[in-house]
Copies of this chain bind each other. A is one copy, B any other.
Amino acid sequence: MTQADDHHSVPEDAKRPDIMADIYAEDGSIRSDFLAMVGAAIGDRDVLFLRQNVARLHESELGDLLESILPEQRHAMVRLLGSDFDMTALTEVDEAIRLDIVEQMPNDQIAAGIGEMDSDDAVYILEDMDREDREDILAQMPFTERVRLLRALDYPESSAGRRMQTEFVAVPPFWTVGQTIDYMREEEELPESFSQIFVVDPTFKLVGALDLDRLLRSKRQVKIETIMHETNHPIAAEMDQEEAAQLFEQYDLLSAAVVDDNGRLVGVLTIDDVVDVMQEEAEEDLLRLGGVGDEELSDSIAVTSRSRVPWLAVNLITAFMAASVIGLFDATIEQIVALAILMPIVAGMGGNAGSQTMTVSVRALATKNLDIHNASRIIRREAGVGLLNGALFGCAIGVIAGLWFNDVNLGGIIATAMLINMFAAALAGIIIPLLLDKFGADPAVSSAVFVTAVTDIVGFFSFLGLATWWFGISG
């Protein structure tokens, strides 16, 4: 193959002499014709087709495929592929789908599949399994691998120790560049890929790290200790994965050493795992703000329903509190029905303004951009925005309501109530998340309920209260 040929051929085709180079349609979903062919092959038990066209997929493509076919097809496909099924794909699918597939697989197939995976992926699959199955699978694995996996599984859930890879390259500081390169050329048992090597003392305590580009630029006789850098950000195995992810983001790390309590190197955390953690955290924040717990698209109706009940239940309480505020003014509403018609506008607009402020506050707290140094400035800003938009929309709503019911007084009352409620909404939207955060609660989970309660109650009370006072109605 000449160099020119190599370029002009489409690389995908060159590498994959198969039915289709790209299994994705324009919109990012898997092409329907590919799904149809896979479905037919599963139906016909066409192992050859599956080996040629499914087994060669990238793990994330195989994961997408598993998510796009029916549960029965999934099980049949995994059975038909046998040892050609790349279990790493299970790290790319929903938890419910993963557990469903794993439950159907015989433990010896799982043990064989896991033996071929990086330890971090293996742990990801093992950690969600039944204790019994897990022990059975581990018992079928070679001693050293079993010990490594057990050590990682020993660390708390969502810790750096669970996400780390236990395969890494470590050399002593007195080696030369030449010795190190020769070692890597000879050694068979190197990790599949790495961008950094670590420097350890005889007791395996971490001394430093060395990026491969630095190694490659140095002459053979140079000693490792003279070109290594001290690891300013070694990650304790017990550290929460989210905290570790923030270190990666702040210091633009590609990989980082994970050390135990004694400073001994136990693994390496790599950016690809961290990216997954960051995506998960961002997703969790968004779902929590929307009043949804840890749910997945593959969850059943019953599971989904149950996960959404808590927020609705809390909301039920605050809704009745708001209703009882309206109840205080039943005599007023009886006399002026227009108030009942207009009051949801005051509460609703306030709710929206409050949720705007709250979204910004919760996000800024999560990214640590909101702290004691700028909190008072942001509170002042939000109060200002609340007054400004309150005045603006108060006037607009006042004019429309005044014209609608042909009543200047009503227009003035709703305008004033709007201003009050949007100011309250702004303050609630920033102060409630700040307080929740200060007292150790997750502002993403609980802010929305409290902010809505404030804007409903202040909205109804200010509007109906002002009207009762202005029109001189007594209950």
A interface residues (Cβ-Cβ under 8 A, vs B): 3-4, 6-7, 11-12, 14-15, 27-30, 32, 35, 58, 60-61, 67-68, 172-174, 181, 184-185, 190, 193-195, 201, 205-208, 211-213, 215-219, 225, 230-232, 234, 248-252, 254, 263, 271-272, 275, 278-279, 282-283, 285-287, 289-292, 295, 297, 299-302, 304-305, 308-309, 311-312, 315-316, 319-320, 322-324, 326-327, 330, 333-334, 337-338, 340-345, 347-349, 352-353, 355-356, 358-360, 363-364, 367-374, 378, 381, 384-385, 388-389, 392-393, 396-397, 400, 452, 456, 460
Contact B7 A373 (CB under 8 A): no
Given A28-B368, A322-B345, A344-B460: 12 more A-B contacts, CB < 8 Å:
A6-B207, A7-B206, A7-B207, A195-B195, A249-B279, A278-B278, A278-B282, A283-B363, A291-B356, A301-B381, A319-B349, A322-B344
- In the bound assembly, the distance between CA atoms of A219 and B338 in angstroms comes to 86
Residues of B within 8 A of A370 (CB): 297
Nearest chain B CB to A265 CB, angstrom units: 11
- Among the listed B7, B174, B201, B301, which residue makes an inter-chain contact with A201, where contact means beta carbons less than 8 Å apart? B7
Nearest chain B CB to A22 CB, angstrom units: 10
Interface CB pairs A-B, < 8 A, 30: A3-B172, A3-B225, A6-B173, A6-B207, A7-B205, A11-B231, A27-B371, A35-B373, A60-B251, A68-B373, A185-B216, A185-B217, A193-B213, A254-B271, A278-B278, A279-B282, A282-B282, A282-B286, A286-B363, A289-B290, A291-B359, A297-B374, A311-B352, A312-B356, A316-B396, A319-B345, A330-B337, A333-B333, A333-B337, A348-B456
Residues of B within 8 A of A278 (CB): 275, 278-279, 282
- Among the listed B225, B352, B384, B460, which residue makes an inter-chain contact with A315, where contact means beta carbons less than 8 Å apart? B352
Q: Which 8 residue pairs are nearest across A and B when measured between Cβ atoms?
A: A290-B359, A29-B371, A282-B282, A340-B340, A301-B384, A212-B212, A11-B230, A28-B368
Contact B58 A316 (CB under 8 A): no
Contact B315 A348 (CB under 8 A): yes
Given contacts A206-B7, A301-B385, A372-B29, contact A456 B344 (CB under 8 A): yes
- In the bound assembly, the distance between CA atoms of A312 and B355 in angstroms comes to 11
Residues of B within 8 A of A355 (CB): 290-291
Residues of B within 8 A of A397 (CB): 316
Contact B216 A215 (CB under 8 A): yes
* Tally of this chain's copies: 2
Contact B230 A14 (CB under 8 A): yes
- In the bound assembly, the distance between CA atoms of A60 and B367 in angstroms comes to 13
Residues of B within 8 A of A193 (CB): 211, 213
Residues of B within 8 A of A285 (CB): 286
Most buried by B among A219, A316, A343: A316
Contact B212 A213 (CB under 8 A): yes
- In the bound assembly, the distance between CA atoms of A215 and B254 in angstroms comes to 18
**Closest B-chain residue to A287, C-beta based?**
B359
- In the bound assembly, the distance between CA atoms of A206 and B358 in angstroms comes to 48
Nearest chain B CB to A458 CB, angstrom units: 14
Residues of B within 8 A of A218 (CB): 185
Contact B316 A360 (CB under 8 A): no
- In the bound assembly, the distance between CA atoms of A263 and B381 in angstroms comes to 49
- In the bound assembly, the distance between CA atoms of A353 and B225 in angstroms comes to 60
- In the bound assembly, the distance between CA atoms of A28 and B289 in angstroms comes to 22
- In the bound assembly, the distance between CA atoms of A254 and B28 in angstroms comes to 22
Contact B371 A342 (CB under 8 A): no
